[in-house]
């Protein structure tokens, strides 16, 4: 068992420079990132990431959905300790969401490599495919398949807006590997991520110990009315599907206010047909999600949202239907021992921490179903993410990476 060396620290400048190199691949004019999964930018970033991993002695493998697993060798052939997150972004994403977790992991491997430290267990550094679910519409899908929660074929057959399948796009960028799901058993999994909320930043606390996450349920409401002329149709004879959608959007927001501050509801997408001037819309679809850290409360919000669909349709005189329904985070249970180790090393390094619930979904949710897992959050300015203006303050970020370094090393020496 290795002993705690408080002088062991990451190289801050090297990590910052690496993050800034990543920030050039898919850079937007406003200084954010657009690096959609399996795009040409994603390929360039993956190529660079693989090269960086090989430079520190890693053996790199890919699984069937393009998750990259880079193995830093250990002294013994034992199940590895894994570090992971994602290198893809949203359409107008920031430079750190997901990316800090992967490149922070790389910095840990570089630190060990430079100090000639070989842990007892190997360390697997992972870039999960399609976490953001923007181009191929399903969040966290690479880790979901890895954990065996969805089949490979399901992800392979998802299509983007142009009709390209995931599997063609994956082969197109050269990252279709042959490892099957569950091919590796992790001894433990650690994920570092920006908070994506304002709590740590406002409290000026550099490390968030994630003790749980929100249970999220989503649904698409479909409203069917009748196409008619905007001028010729009397007000009392209309079946305007957009009016039902509008009522639903406002009602769902009011529902979130009732469950605040912990509960959250969001209407995030709408489709209207024909969506033309002079015509009463015949069809609308609204996507909403409900979040609460107490799953019973999420269920309550969800059932109330279903009742709102019916009520809003009735008020607008249109037909309704429930479209796609989804949920995630129901069974996340971060590992008490991994959590304790994060707290312990923060304390030994003199770093203040705050216990925190995750409000967003993360790859760690799925991995927590197949391995002991934990997450560390660091602050992001004003809690802003999924936005080109996403920022981190360097001095508020490095403590979390150092805590991750010690927690991972101690676990790998076990
Ligand atoms: Zn993320």
From ligand 1's centre to the CA of 131, what distance in Å?
7
From ligand 1's centre to the CA of 328, what distance in Å?
15
Ion ligand 1 neighbours, Cβ < 5 Å: 97-98
From ligand 1's centre to the CA of 210, what distance in Å?
14
From ligand 1's centre to the CA of 196, what distance in Å?
9
From ligand 1's centre to the CA of 318, what distance in Å?
38
Cβ–Cβ < 8 Å for 140, 155: no
Burial letters for 273-299: b for 16+ Cβ neighbours within 10 Å, e otherwise? beeeeeebbbbbbbbbbbbbbebebbb
Residue 236 contacts by C-beta under 8 Å, 6 or more apart in sequence?
none
Instruction: Please tell me the number of Cα atoms within 13 Å of 406 on its side-chain side.
Output: 25
For residues 79 and 39, give the distance between their C-alpha atoms in angstroms, rounded to a whole number.
Answer: 32
User: Exposed, middle or buried by CB within 10 Å (0-12, 13-18, 19+), for 369?
Assistant: middle
From ligand 1's centre to the CA of 342, what distance in Å?
20
From ligand 1's centre to the CA of 230, what distance in Å?
44
pLDDT for 137 = 86
For residues 101 and 200, give the distance between their C-alpha atoms in angstroms, rounded to a whole number.
Answer: 17
pLDDT for 31 = 94
Three-state DSSP at 127 gives: strand
For residues 239 and 317, give the distance between their C-alpha atoms in angstroms, rounded to a whole number.
Answer: 5
pLDDT along the chain (414 residues), means of 10: 84 98 97 97 98 98 98 98 98 96 98 98 98 92 94 96 96 96 94 96 97 92 96 95 98 98 95 96 97 94 98 98 89 91 97 93 93 97 93 97 98 97
From ligand 1's centre to the CA of 314, what distance in Å?
39
261: cis peptide before it, omega within 30°? yes
Residue 53 contacts by C-beta under 8 Å, 6 or more apart in sequence?
60, 70, 106, 109, 125
pLDDT for 328 = 84
- Give residue for tokens 């999600």: 289
From ligand 1's centre to the CA of 20, what distance in Å?
17
From ligand 1's centre to the CA of 224, what distance in Å?
35
From ligand 1's centre to the CA of 275, what distance in Å?
33
From ligand 1's centre to the CA of 248, what distance in Å?
29
From ligand 1's centre to the CA of 185, what distance in Å?
23
For residues 330 and 283, give the distance between their C-alpha atoms in angstroms, rounded to a whole number.
Answer: 32
From ligand 1's centre to the CA of 278, what distance in Å?
42
From ligand 1's centre to the CA of 385, what distance in Å?
9
Q: What phi, psi does 71 have (nearest 5°)?
A: -100, 120
From ligand 1's centre to the CA of 390, what distance in Å?
12
From ligand 1's centre to the CA of 228, what distance in Å?
44
From ligand 1's centre to the CA of 197, what distance in Å?
12
From ligand 1's centre to the CA of 402, what distance in Å?
20
From ligand 1's centre to the CA of 95, what distance in Å?
11
From ligand 1's centre to the CA of 134, what distance in Å?
12
From ligand 1's centre to the CA of 9, what distance in Å?
24
From ligand 1's centre to the CA of 239, what distance in Å?
41
pLDDT for 1 = 47
From ligand 1's centre to the CA of 140, what distance in Å?
9
Q: Name the CA radius of gyration of the chain, rounded.
A: 23
């Amino acid at each position: 068992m290795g002993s705690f060396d408080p002088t062991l620290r990451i190289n801050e400048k090297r990590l910052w420079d690496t993050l800034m190199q990543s920030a050039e691949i898919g850079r937007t004019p406003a200084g954010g990132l657009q690096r959609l999964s399996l795009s040409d930018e994603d390929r360039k970033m993956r190529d660079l990431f693989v090269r960086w991993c090989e430079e520190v002695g890693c053996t790199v493998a890919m699984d069937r959905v393009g998750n990259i697993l880079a193995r830093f060798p250990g002294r013994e052939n034992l199940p590895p300790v894994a570090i992971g997150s994602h290198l893809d972004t949203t359409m107008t994403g920031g430079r750190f969401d997901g990316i800090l977790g992967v490149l922070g992991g790389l910095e840990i491997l570089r630190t060990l490599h430079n100090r000639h430290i070989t842990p007892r267990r190997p360390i697997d550094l992972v870039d999960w495919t399609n976490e953001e679910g923007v181009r191929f519409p399903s969040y966290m899908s690479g880790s979901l398949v890895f954990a065996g929660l969805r089949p490979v074929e399901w992800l392979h057959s998802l299509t983007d807006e142009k009709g390209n399948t995931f599997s063609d796009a994956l082969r197109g960028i050269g990252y279709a590997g042959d490892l099957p799901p569950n091919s590796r058993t992790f001894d433990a999994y650690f994920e570092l991520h920006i908070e994506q909320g304002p709590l740590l930043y406002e409290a000026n606390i550099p490390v968030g110990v994630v003790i749980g996450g929100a249970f999220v349920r989503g649904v698409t409401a479909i409203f069917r009315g009748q196409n008619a002329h905007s001028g010729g149709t009397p007000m009392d004879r209309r079946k305007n599907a957009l009016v039902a959608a509008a009522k639903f959007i406002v009602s769902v927001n009011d529902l979130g206010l009732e469950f605040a501050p912990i509960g959250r509801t969001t209407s995030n997408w709408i489709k209207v047909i024909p969506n033309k001037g002079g015509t009463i819309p015949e069809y609308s679809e609204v996507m909403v999600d409900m979040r609460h850290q107490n799953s019973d409360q999420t269920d309550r919000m969800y059932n109330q949202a279903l009742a709102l669909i019916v009520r809003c349709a009735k008020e607008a005189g249109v037909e309704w239907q429930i479209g796609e329904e989804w949920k995630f985070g129901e069974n996340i249970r971060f590992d008490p021992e991994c959590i304790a180790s994060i707290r312990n090393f923060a304390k030994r390094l003199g770093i203040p921490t705050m216990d925190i619930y995750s409000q967003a979904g993360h790859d760690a949710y799925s991995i927590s179903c197949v391995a002991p897992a934990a997450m560390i959050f660091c602050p992001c300015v004003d809690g802003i993410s999924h936005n080109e203006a996403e920022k981190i303050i360097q001095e508020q970020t490095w403590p979390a990476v150092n805590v991750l370094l010690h927690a991972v090393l101690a676990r790998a020496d076990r």
